[in-house]
Chains A and B, each alone.
Chain A
Amino acid sequence: MRTRTWAPYALIAPTLLLMVVFLLYPIASVGWFSLRQHTVTQPWKNGFIGFENFRRMLFDDPLFWQSLVFSAKWVVVEVGLQLVLGLVLALIVNETFVGRALARSLVFSPWAVSGVLTTGIWILLYNPSTGIFQQLAQWGIGDPGTSVLGDPATVFPATVVTELWRGVPFFAILLLADLQTIPNDLYEAASVDGAGRWRRFVSVTLPHLRDAIVLSTLLRAVWEFNNVDLIYTLTGGGPANQTTTLPLYVARKAVDSHDFGYGSALTMAGFVILLFFSILYLRLSKFGSRA
C-alpha cells in the first residue's frame, strides 16, 4: 500500500524539482528583491522597504509608463504585421510551383539568424555613409547622411522592419505546417459547392488555422514583449528613450545602474502583465476547445 502512495510523487519529483529550481525560486527571488532597496554600488542602503519601489514606479517614474506604452505599441505592430505577412508567405509557399523547395528555405532562413546578428546586418544596411540610404541619396532620393536610427521620426519603423525580417518566418513555418494538415477533400467539396478562392480561404483555411494562429500570436506577443537583444543592440532604446521597452528599461536599471531592487519591481510589473494577458487571451480565444 505504501509504495502506491509515494510512487506517483517520486515520478513527478524530477519535474517538480526542475520547476522549483528554474521557475518558482527565480520568481520568488525577484518578488523578494522588489520589496527591497538593493543597489550593488551602495550596499549600506540595502534593506527591506516594503512597496516603496512600486510606489516610485507607478507615481514617480514617467519612463516606466513611457516604456510600457512603447512595449504595447511594439507588440501590437510587430505581432500584427508578422501574422499577416507570415500568413501570406505560408499561403504562397504552400502552392505548387517550380522552385518551391528553394523558395521555402529562403523564406525560413532569417529565422535561423540570431537577434544580435540580425542587428549587425541591418546596422550595415542603415549605415548613413555606406548603407542603402547613401545609395538612394546618390540616385537623388533623400538627403546624404540620412540616419534612420538617429531620427526620432524614422527610428520606430526602421526597428520594426528589422524585427519583421526575422519574425515573419516564424509565423510562416508554423502556419505552413498547419496548412498542410488540411485535408484536400475539404477544398474539393467546397469547390463542388461553388466556393471561389476567397470563400475557400475564409471558410476552410482560416477556421482550420485558428488554434495555430492563437498559439503563435500568443507566443510571439510574449516574446516580442520581452524582446531585448535586437532593440538593445540596434538602438540601445534610443535616441532619447524613443525605443525603450519595459524589459530594456529593466536591463538599464538593473544591469547598468546596478539597482536590482527597482529592476525587480519593474520585472514584477512585466510578469503580472504577461500573466494576465496570457490568461485572458486564452480564455477569450477559447483555445483548444474546438474538439
Chain B
Amino acid sequence: MKRLLVALALVLGGCSAGQGGPTTITFWDNNGGPGRTPIYQELIKRFEAANPDVKVEYVGIPSSSVQQKYDTAIAGGSTPDVGGVTTSYLAHLVGQGALEPADDRLDSGPLKGKLLPGLLETVRQTAPDGKLYAVPASGNMDVIWYRSDRFAENQIAEPATWDDLVAAATKLTRPAENQYGFTIRGGAGSVFQLLSEAYSYSGIDKFYDGGRSTVADPRNAELVRKVAEMYKKATPEADVNNSYTQMVAQFTGGTVAMMHHNLGSTADVMKALGPERVSAMPLPKGPSGKRTVVPNPTDGFAVFKGGKNQEAAWKFVEFLTSAESNGYWNEKVGQIPANTEVRGAEWIQNNPAVKMALGVLEDPATVLVPAPVYLPEYSSITKTDTEPLYQKVLLGQMSAQEFLDQLAAKLTTAQQDWEKRK
C-alpha cells in the first residue's frame, strides 16, 4: 500500500523531474510475488547501474487483481510509466486509450528484428488498429505436467492422444489412497484452459469461420464430454471449484498425477517435485492427428500515455527485452524468451519443458489457433458468464453441447460487434 501511495504521489506530482536530479519512473509488475519480484529487483539494479540518471520504482501487483488496478489507475489518471501486461487483457487497456504504440520506437531502436515474429503478431492482434501496444517479453504454452515417476512405476507411456490420457488417468486413480490420475480446473480460469484442450483435440484450426464461432463444433463438444466424464472417476470431487492455487496444490502435494497448466507453473512444480519426478508434454492430439495449439497469452511491457518520462520509460523497456535481461528473466521463470538472440542459450538446452514447447511451436506441422483475446468482452464471457456453466456440465446439470452453444453464441455476437467497430 505504501509503495502504491509512493507511486501515486510520484505520478500525480509529475515525478519531480527537476534538472540535475535523477528521473524516477514507476514500473508495475503484473504478477508480483515471491517468485518474480526478486528477479525484477535484480534487473532494476542492473538497469540503474547502467543508467544512473533514471530510478525505477517497483510496484508488485498480484495477477488476480491487476486488471482492476489498471482500470482504476486509468480512471483516476494515476497509471505507471511502464506496466507489465499480458495479451489476455491488453485489448482492455487499448480500448481505454491508455497505452502508447511501440511500433516506431521498435523500428528505430536496438530491438528491431530481434523479437519473435509470432509473439509480435499475437500482441498486434489484440488492437483494432493493428498497432503494437506492448513489447513482448515471454511466450508461453499450455502443457500437461505429469508425474514421470508414477508413469514409470505403472509402466504407462507418455499419452499421445486424449484417449491415452483418459486411460492413463483412470489407471492411476485409487481414491482409497487419495490418488487421482488427473485434475480438472473447474473454478476460476477453467474455460480458458478448456478451450485449449478442446481445440487440441478437435484439430479445428480457426476460432471463427465466416464470422461465426467454431467453439460449438461437435468435435469440441466431444472433448468437453470426455473431460467431464473423468470428473470424480479419475479426478478429485473438489475439482469443480479448482482455481490455479488448488490445482497446483493437488499436483505438487502428490494427490494427482497429471495437471493441465502452462510453462508459467514451472517454478512451482519444479520446486516441489524436481525434474526427476515430473515432466511436461504438449496437450494431446485428437483423432484428426493434427497438432493445433491455442497460444497462451503473451507477456510483455507497455508504456502508458501521459507519463512525463517517456524517454526513460522506453529505455527501461528496451533494457528489459534486451538479449541479456530477457534471457536472465526467462531462464528464471522457465518461459519462452521473446528475444531471438537468446535462443541458442545453454539453459534452454537444459530445460526440457521449454525445449519441448519451442519444438512444438517451431514445428511446421503445428497450427496456431489464436483465441479472440482482442474482444473486449472475451474475459467476461469466458469467466463470469460461462465458468458457472462449465461447472454445470461437470455436475451433470447441463450437456457439453448446450454449454458450448451458449459460449459460441456470445463469442459470435462479440466478434460481430468488433468487426463493426473496426
Contacts and interface: CB of A to CB of B under 8 A. Distances in A.
B337 to A, nearest CB: 30
A269 to B, nearest CB: 18
Interface of A: 39-44, 128-129, 134, 143-147, 149-152, 235-241, 244, 252-253, 255-259
Interface string B169-200: 00000011010100000111000000000000
Given A44-B421, A129-B253, A241-B388, A143 B395 contact: no
A232 B216 CA distance: 30
B413 interface: no
Contacts of B394: 239
A239 B380 contact: no
Contacts of A41: 91-92, 95-96, 376-377, 379-380
> Which 5 residue pairs of A and B lie closest in terms of their CB atoms, listed nearest first?
A257-B380, A147-B238, A240-B391, A147-B237, A41-B376
Interface string B233-247: 000111111000000
From B188, B238, B253, name the one whose CB has the most chain A CB atoms within 10 angstroms: B238
Given A41-B91, A41-B95, 20 more contacts: A39-B376, A41-B92, A41-B377, A41-B379, A42-B376, A43-B95, A43-B96, A129-B236, A143-B175, A145-B175, A145-B236, A150-B186, A236-B241, A239-B391, A240-B391, A244-B388, A257-B379, A257-B380, A258-B380, A259-B380
Contacts of A39: 376
B96 A255 contact: no
A256 B241 contact: no
Contacts of B384: 252-253, 256-257
A257 to B, nearest CB: 4
A152 B175 contact: no
Interface of B: 68, 71, 75, 91-92, 95-96, 175-176, 178, 180, 186-188, 236-241, 250, 253, 255, 376-377, 379-380, 383-385, 388-389, 391-392, 394-395, 397, 421
From A43, A240, A253, A255, name the one whose CB has the most chain B CB atoms within 10 angstroms: A240
B240 A144 contact: no
Given A144-B176, A257-B380, A258-B380, A40 B96 contact: yes
Given A40-B71, A256-B380, A235 B96 contact: no
